[in-house]
Amino acid sequence: VTAADVTIEDCEIETATSSFQATLALLTTPAADRFILRNNFIHGSLNAGTTTQISLVGGDGIQILGNTIIGACTTSAGNIANATTDSTNLVIDGNRILNSTASSTKVIVLTSGSTGFITNNRLCILSGTAPVTAAAMNVGGNVYSAAAGITAGTASTI
């Protein structure tokens, strides 16, 4: 996504099969202001190879809303990553996100200066107690589990 005011909605994006793994599904540039990713099904297989499914490189007012995101992403990078340039006024809300890589510890990893909200998401990792890294974000109302086949009542909130 290299322009402002782009919306991707109600789509299916496959990032991996047993014989092919895309490095990522979506990549933004700093010009992707007000990009909206809403109500999509982004998925991959259990095979390793996908670094992250959504890679944010800056941008203001990006919204990631109501998506189901499932993939075997890099253990510590997660499914949504913002590795090099801060995003401002970012909203990640109402998503279901699973990093299915063995011993995965992250689903969202953002730069320390990224601002906005990470709220009301259902997050699944396979290890650890901190599925989100987002130092300057407002984080609340999220629920996560750190094991497959978790029983009712054993999920944690962040």
Q: What is the DSSP letter of 66?
A: S
Mean predicted lDDT score pLDDT of the chain: 90
Supply the pTM of this predicted model: 0.92
d(CA 6, CA 33): 8
Residue with tokens 């009301």: 120
* Token pair 């009712």 in the structure block, residue: 152
Q: What would the two tokens of residue 50 be?
A: 């996908």
CA pair distance 138, 119, nearest whole angstrom: 8
Continuous H helices in the chain: none
Q: List pLDDT tens digits, range 58-105.
A: 999 999 999 999 998 887 889 999 978 999 999 999 999 999 887 889
Tokens of 116: 């906005």
Q: Does the structure show a pLDDT above 70 at 155?
A: no
Looking at the predicted structure, is the pLDDT value of residue 151 above 60? no
